[in-house]
Structure 1
Amino acid sequence: MLQREAQRPPLISHDVPLPRYRPLATGNAYLMWIAVFVGVALVLWFGTLGLRHLVGPDEGRYAEISREMLTTGDWVTIRYNALKYFEKPPFHMWATAVAYALFGIGEWQARLTVALAGLLGIVMTMLATWRWFGPRAAAFAGLALLAAPMWSVAAHFNTLDMTLAGVMSCILACMLIAQHPDNTASQRRTWMLASWAAMGVAILTKGLVGIALPGLVLVVYTCITRDWNLWRRLYLLPGAALMMAISAPWFYLVSTRNPEFLHFFFIHEHWQRYTSNLHARGGPIVYFVPLILGGFLPWIGLFPRICAAIRLPAAHRRTTFRPALMAGVWAIAIFTFFSLSHSKLPGYIVPVFPALGILAGVALDKIDARAWRKQLMGMAVLTSCGLLASPVVATLNANHTPNMFWRAYAIWAALAFVLMLLSIAVSFLLLHRGVLRSVAVYALGMYVGFTVALLGHETVGGPASGASLAPQVKQILTPGMKLYALEMLDHTLPFYVGHPLTMVGSADELTFGAEMEPQRAVPDIATFAKDWAGKAPALAVMSPQTYLELSPALRFYVVDRDWRRVVVSNRPVPLPSR
């Protein structure tokens, strides 16, 4: 027994210099296999973008902001429902508006930016891994990110978090590539300037975190390694100038046109959000732990090997730079930064995953068939538990969503786990053909399973989107007509009807915009009632409860309704039959 234990290879050797790379197999059959794999993955990646309706609040919000940006032609002052909206910078909305201009306004166009950002993150992560650890490790890193649900699912939700994560992956990858000792001075400068340019885009995507997080990582890394010479290779002055040239013009223009912007954006949306529970988005210190474990679930058994990979020495004899440690510091520092914040949302942690992908690629590159078989067996147990627990979904009544929608989603959840189990079984059968093929099939199966679970969410998200009401509403709504929102901010209906809301009473997250431009909102129900009784035709959307409370006193003609909202007119209108 002791002899067998002694013969087992260590997780990762620290005594033998790390080889530069282990080549991939070549040959026409192998290349055809790769082409089919990549083709299937890309078809699923982009082909599923328009198969679900938008989900509020984020998807509807950023889709509508981009639509209003395109239709008004104002690319500087961001508006949401015609009110100033200064919570986030414009890059994501710019990119989405360009997608609308090129391909038309629709659901897949609204998600195209995040899909491209997610794919960019995979490509850049593979490129950095290839440069330091070889093509085989790069292939594993790409597979790790593809199968990580926090990455692949986020890349199909229209949110700023995925766009930021894709840009942040470029910052990390370009910086890692720049530090390789085989680079010429010109190559190092080019890659570092690309990293600085990505920081400028990151600032334009979500503010100061675009430079604060990479800066934090560099400080922590140099404190650990004492490699102060690294700062001489960062090209600080030209890099900072490039970053400012990319990010500063919009900040100058928007603050010139809107003097209130600087205080709201930097004090309210940065400092107060991080240091206080201003937006009621707090959470415990361990808030992101289950998100990391669940978001990297297919590779959860690799965490001991990932930790070992972080401790690897310099990967090249001619440098003291440690790319694996840098990736580990990136993941841990960003995780810690957001864990300490008083404002927490699940998407904040997405930029961690490219670094985990690099480390997983290094770990998988060193794994043998016996160890990988154990990983598959552990995941088979977890997936079987998920399948057995899937009926619990049918009992949910969460997020104010009727149980009947969750019952429908339970079938999709069970199907997703079945597909994952099948992929694990096929991976077992292919293990004799090599670890790489087995891991590839496993990763694709996990990705397909999570994609099915995501598509199945349409049973919950679709009825909540208001898309079913849009045809009826659009036949009545004209460009100059008011569409009031009574005591509610509907995040998805404006996109589907192509018309902004006029807020009545509580403006929710648009309170700042309503205060800045009170003429664009209605302060209370009493004022609304006077406008509603006027000669101008108008529509209004409200919750069923608000409708029951106001309908005895106000003249409401129901246009259409669903379980979340009622749309009414202030005068009788001929409604077409469905």
Structure 2
Amino acid sequence: MLAPDDRSLRREFGWFMLIALAVLAAGIGLRDPWPPDEPRFALVARQMLESGQWLFPHRGMELYSDKPPVLMWTEAFWMWLTGGWRGAFLLTSLLSGLGTLALVWHLGRRLWNARTGMVAATLVLATMQFVDVVKHAQIDPLNLFWITLANTGILLHCLRGPNWRMYWLGCFAAGLGVITKGVGVIALLMLLPYVLLRVRQWPGVTVTRGDGWRWAGGALAFLLAIALWLVPMLSAAYGLRTPEYLAYVHDILFRQTAERYANSWQHEEKPWFFLLVILRQWIPTWLLIPFLVPRWREALRLRDPRVWMPLIWFVLVLVFFSIPRGKREIYILPALPMLALAMAPYLVDLLKTRWLPRASFWIAVACAAVFAGAGTWALTKAPAAAQRIAQGYELPGHGEALWWCVIAVGTGFLLSALVFRPRRGVAALLGGMALAWIIWPLGTYPLLDANQSTRQLMQEADAAIGPSGQLGLVAWREELLYQARRPVTEFGFARDSALQLRAARAWQHDDPAHRWLLVNEEAFDDCVVKDKVVPLGIANRTRFALLPADASKPDCVPSATPR
């Protein structure tokens, strides 16, 4: 039987998870996949279901080797389980986000107590980047879950052990992180501060002797997880031995991992890029750090490994991702749970101060004023910026419905402030943030989806070519193929757009009366007859058009490179 206090704390955790579910699940089922990443993974997953080819993902006719297939496997499973439900592609992210919060709570409870675990999990949920990422169907929420599970297993073994099963589970989860995105190995960096603190003989660190084979079992668990995908994939690729599959193996094992890290070719940023990401997107978490530095210094004096193992790992991850030139904001997210864990035991005391609730209350009031004021200004004055945004999404008028959603977010902050008052200002701020994350998707997903998902554009293309028309895609994006209303022909995705257009014209020439080309206007060359083009408008800030057969000059050889 659980003690009354234990039952109360578990009930509190249950309510927390229900709130997290409401925040993270709001809007699921109200939209289709949105660029840049969601349509790609959803398209690959759907093609897996249709083709039965699970080891080698395809994007259209081409092999897709940018990422391992684990996320696509899960999305395909949800599509199959739900019968193709519109929101199925978001379920992996939702469950990964909820799982991450549960792991942070469990780890905080085991290392300190249930209250600390609750504070740590709340801090993660309150961080803007966490909610934003989990609300999108990218690889990163699943990767975040695997890395947090790996950290949980390793920390419980190293600080509450020996617990070899948890250690092996942690190493296995790190391997799953590798075959999900490639960077799951960063979880094993947690062993570096463990070795350092063990050598320095910090109290509370697990000490084992004569267990070398058990430590080596972690490496075996790590490799076993990777082998679940790698062994059958390599066996099939080298069994087929075609240039296409051998190129896939080289690209996904070398170019997209070690080469991409050592010699990045995309998203080049400065070394301090992730510090700026934390300042912009880890609000309100980082605002509390200056008040915790003295506590961390005291923890260092007391040699508390529960604080400093996660903190050192956080710094190692920050350095790891800062070294290569290529950086994306999302890379640093796996470090958030461990930072929250190192902050949580001291926030329990900080919450008892008078200034923090009052400051939080007035921040909530300021958010209400900013959102309501900005929305009202855009609604009533129709400034140029509001009109540009409305035009970009092809919204009627100057986007009045969108500005009402902004006002509604401000109203949510105001209602939360009125309910909780300054005395419970932290709850006022957290409540306002939760309402904002619920109101915004419920209001904007139905409003923006037709444009963002290209559903409307593909419906218009389908109507324009008629029931007997055939459609070819040139310089296409994944959302176009995903939203196609009928079978289409495409001429490669990674292929140069000029080569795609040349092949498309040859295809169209064989049946000019029925074949149309849907083209990104940036791929137009000087053989296009502008007067014959059928414009379809803008989707995701990109302009598309239909080319009938007579929209290309006969026997024309393009002399200009497409824009």
How high is the TM-score relative to the length of structure 1? Answer: 0.77
Cα drift, residue 306 of structure 1 = 4.1
2:184 to 203, 210, 219: 210
Cα drift, residue 95 of structure 1 = 0.8
Letter of the structure 2 residue corresponding to residue 465 of structure 1 = S
1:295 to 259, 281, 284: 281
Q: How many residues align?
A: 520
2:79 aligned partner: 100
User: Given that residues 459 and 485 in structure 2 are in contact (C-alpha distance below 8 angstroms), is that contact kept between their aligned partners in structure 1?
Assistant: no
2:392 aligned partner: 401
Letter of the structure 2 residue corresponding to residue 284 of structure 1 = K
| Residue 245 of structure 2 corresponds to residue 245 of structure 1 | no
Separation of aligned partners in 2, 1:501 and 1:268 = 31
Separation of aligned partners in 2, 1:269 and 1:206 = 10
Separation of aligned partners in 2, 1:440 and 1:86 = 45
Could you say what secondary structure the match of 1:131 adopts? helix
Matches within 5 A, 1:258-407: 258-279=245-266, 281-311=267-297, 313=299, 322-367=305-350, 368-377=352-361, 379-380=363-364, 383=367, 386-387=370-371, 395=385, 397=388, 401=392, 407=399
Could you say what secondary structure the match of 2:226 adopts? helix
Identify if the C-alpha distance between structure 1 residues 296 and 426 changes in structure 2 by more than 3 Å, giving closer, same or farther.
farther
Identify if the C-alpha distance between structure 1 residues 356 and 562 changes in structure 2 by more than 3 Å, giving closer, same or farther.
same
User: Given that residues 338 and 344 in structure 1 are in contact (C-alpha distance below 8 angstroms), is that contact kept between their aligned partners in structure 2?
Assistant: yes
2:33 to 45, 49, 54: 54
Q: 1:74-127 CA deviation, whole Å, 9 max, x = no partner?
A: 110111122111111111111111111101224410111111111110000100
Letter of the structure 2 residue corresponding to residue 216 of structure 1 = L
* Greater relative CO (CA pairs within 8 A, separation 6+): 1
| Alignment root-mean-square deviation, CA | 4.0
Cα drift, residue 248 of structure 1 = 1.6
Cα drift, residue 485 of structure 1 = 2.4
Q: 1:137-191 CA deviation, whole Å, 9 max, x = no partner?
A: 111112112221211121110111121111111111222222344x5x5xx0111
Cα drift, residue 221 of structure 1 = 5.3
Letter of the structure 2 residue corresponding to residue 286 of structure 1 = W
Moved more, 34-43 or 77-86: 34-43
2:416 to 416, 423, 428: 423
Identify if the C-alpha distance between structure 1 residues 296 and 525 changes in structure 2 by more than 3 Å, giving closer, same or farther.
closer
Identify if the C-alpha distance between structure 1 residues 159 and 562 changes in structure 2 by more than 3 Å, giving closer, same or farther.
same
Could you say what secondary structure the match of 1:541 adopts? strand
1:468 to 452, 456, 461: 456
Q: 1:246-290 CA deviation, whole Å, 9 max, x = no partner?
A: 2124223323412223432233212332233412x1112222223
Could you say what secondary structure the match of 2:518 adopts? strand
User: Given that residues 174 and 188 in structure 2 are in contact (C-alpha distance below 8 angstroms), is that contact kept between their aligned partners in structure 1?
Assistant: no
Cα drift, residue 192 of structure 1 = 0.9
2:90 aligned partner: 111
1:15 aligned partner: none
Cα drift, residue 419 of structure 1 = 2.2
Could you say what secondary structure the match of 2:269 adopts? coil
Moved more, 157-166 or 324-333: 324-333
Letter of the structure 2 residue corresponding to residue 334 of structure 1 = V
User: Given that residues 395 and 403 in structure 1 are in contact (C-alpha distance below 8 angstroms), is that contact kept between their aligned partners in structure 2?
Assistant: no
Percent of counterpart pairs with the same letter? 18
Identify if the C-alpha distance between structure 1 residues 51 and 291 changes in structure 2 by more than 3 Å, giving closer, same or farther.
farther
Q: 1:276-334 CA deviation, whole Å, 9 max, x = no partner?
A: 3412x11122222232133321334311244445446499x9xx771221221232221
Cα drift, residue 446 of structure 1 = 1.4
Cα drift, residue 491 of structure 1 = 2.5
2:164 aligned partner: 189
Letter of the structure 1 residue corresponding to residue 180 of structure 2 = T
2:132 to 121, 131, 153: 153
2:195 to 189, 212, 222: 222
Separation of aligned partners in 1, 2:281 and 2:110 = 26
Q: 1:509-557 CA deviation, whole Å, 9 max, x = no partner?
A: x34xx9xxxxxx9934233212112138545322246579665289877
How high is the TM-score relative to the length of structure 2? Answer: 0.79
Separation of aligned partners in 2, 1:399 and 1:285 = 36
Identify if the C-alpha distance between structure 1 residues 407 and 365 changes in structure 2 by more than 3 Å, giving closer, same or farther.
same
Could you say what secondary structure the match of 1:144 adopts? helix
Moved more, 406-415 or 465-474: 406-415
Could you say what secondary structure the match of 1:206 adopts? coil
1:449 aligned partner: 436
User: Given that residues 154 and 190 in structure 2 are in contact (C-alpha distance below 8 angstroms), is that contact kept between their aligned partners in structure 1?
Assistant: no
2:479 to 492, 502, 511: 492
2:100 aligned partner: 121
Identify if the C-alpha distance between structure 1 residues 303 and 453 changes in structure 2 by more than 3 Å, giving closer, same or farther.
farther
1:17 aligned partner: none
User: Given that residues 302 and 363 in structure 1 are in contact (C-alpha distance below 8 angstroms), is that contact kept between their aligned partners in structure 2?
Assistant: no
Unpaired segments of 5 or more residues in structure 1? 1-22, 432-437, 515-520, 573-578
Cα drift, residue 457 of structure 1 = 5.1
| Residue 42 of structure 2 corresponds to residue 66 of structure 1 | no
Cα drift, residue 568 of structure 1 = 3.8
User: Given that residues 26 and 437 in structure 2 are in contact (C-alpha distance below 8 angstroms), is that contact kept between their aligned partners in structure 1?
Assistant: no
Separation of aligned partners in 2, 1:203 and 1:88 = 10
Identify if the C-alpha distance between structure 1 residues 417 and 65 changes in structure 2 by more than 3 Å, giving closer, same or farther.
same
User: Given that residues 298 and 379 in structure 1 are in contact (C-alpha distance below 8 angstroms), is that contact kept between their aligned partners in structure 2?
Assistant: no
| Residue 502 of structure 2 corresponds to residue 523 of structure 1 | no
Separation of aligned partners in 1, 2:528 and 2:444 = 33
User: Given that residues 542 and 566 in structure 1 are in contact (C-alpha distance below 8 angstroms), is that contact kept between their aligned partners in structure 2?
Assistant: yes
